[in-house]
Structure 1
Amino acid sequence: MADETTEPPEKKKGLGLIGWLIVVILALGLGGAGFFATYSGMADDLLAKEEVPHPVADAKGPEFLELDPMLVTVGGPGSLKQLRFRAFLQTAHEGADHVPDLQPRILDIFATYLRALSVDMLEDPSSLLRIRAQLLRRVQLLAGPEAVSDLLIIDFVIT
């Protein structure tokens, strides 16, 4: 004989018609309230961006100090190779008045550093960035980190 115990079918779980009607009414009500709050200006304080003061750009632009060209003997004793080097220093507008007075000392620091490098390192194109960073660091130690912001190498020729 067959079991005659039949279970009642399970009810579907969900919101049903009344639940969906409530969701739609709430969505329309909240959307309308949000529109009214932004349109009337009530939400301006919440949506306003904080004003960040932007630095005023100088009309003059950056200032550059041209260093005297240098001719440095490289390659150790008895070497005939020479490095022709010319550069500019980008200086700050304020507090950099003393940098032109330091030019002889800057040139001495540059010549001393460049003489200590091997010719192979000077001829390697990828080492120019490292050399530039080292020279800039030495100038900033001498003149102050705020006085000189960049070093622009114009000539870097080994003959």
Structure 2
Amino acid sequence: MILLALPLVLAGVGAGLWFSGILPGMLGRHATEHPAGEHAEPAAPRVPVFVAMPDITANLNAPGRRAFIRLKSQMEVAGAQDAATLQAAMPRLVDLFTTYLREIRPEELRGSAGTHRLREELIARANIAASPARVTDVLFTEILVQ
């Protein structure tokens, strides 16, 4: 029993020391070291680009009553090239957003959880419509539900 358990315990301890960074430090290897002759310069901070979306007004899925949403938003993308791709896909984006908003019930938009779900769904749809551009966030400037 000891002959079987001892190698497993030693392997577990070794893996723990390796992944915690203790063992590479003891061996003189550091994660921040670079190969000889190469000096890594810090990457320039990424400056996001914001693309304004047209205002969207849509009726919500509320049987027996009238409910509307007015949405003003901006899309955050990684760079100017993604912004140009997003602008070119703007008619498709507006169509996808309007179609999605027409299927939402007013109860689904209540509270911060509803706003967060809406943001996640719009990001997913924007990334599909504007591919290969990558939308990193949707920023709401106005959400009005009546």
**Same fold at TM > 0.5:** yes
Q: Structure 1 CA distance, aligned partners of 2:64 and 2:98?
A: 18
Q: 1:83 to 1:140 in 2, by over 3 A?
A: same
Measured in 2, the distance between the counterparts of 1:145 and 1:154 equals: 26
Residue 82 of structure 1 corresponds to 68
* Aligned counterpart for 2:108 among listed residues 97, 100, 121: 121
1:54 aligns with 2:42: yes
Tell me how far 1:98 sits from its aligned partner: 1.7
The answer to whether 1:99 aligns with 2:86 is: yes
Shift of 1:123: 2.5
How much has 1:150 moved relative to structure 2?
A: 1.4
* 1:99 shift after superposition: 1.0
Unaligned runs of 5+ in 1: 1-45
> C-alpha distance in 1, partners of 2:96/2:29?
55
TM-score, normalised to structure 1, is 0.61
1:92–1:47 distance in 2 versus 1, CA, 3 Å: closer
Q: Partner of 1:70 in structure 2? A: 56
CA 1:146–1:102 in structure 2 vs 1: closer, same or farther (change >3 Å)?
closer
Count of residue pairs brought into register by the alignment:
112
**Higher relative helix content:** 2
Q: Give the distance between the partners of 1:47 and 1:147, measured in 2 at CA.
A: 36
Q: Structure 1 pair 55/146, CA: closer, same or farther in 2 (3 Å)?
A: farther
Q: In the aligned structure 1, how far is the partner of 2:132 from the partner of 2:76?
A: 12
Tell me the TM-score normalized by structure 2: 0.66
Higher mean displacement: 131-140 or 71-80: 71-80
After superposition, the C-alpha distances for 1:63-108 in whole angstroms (9 at most, x for unaligned) are: 1000011111113456322101011011221531221011111011
Query: Considering only CA atoms, is the larger Rg found in Structure 1 or Structure 2?
Result: 1
5+ residue gaps, structure 2: 1-27, 35-39
Query: 2: distance between equivalents of 1:113 and 1:140?
Result: 14
- Equivalent residue for 1:150? 137
CA–CA separation in structure 2 for the residues paired with 1:145 and 1:137: 13
- Sequence identity, in percent? 22
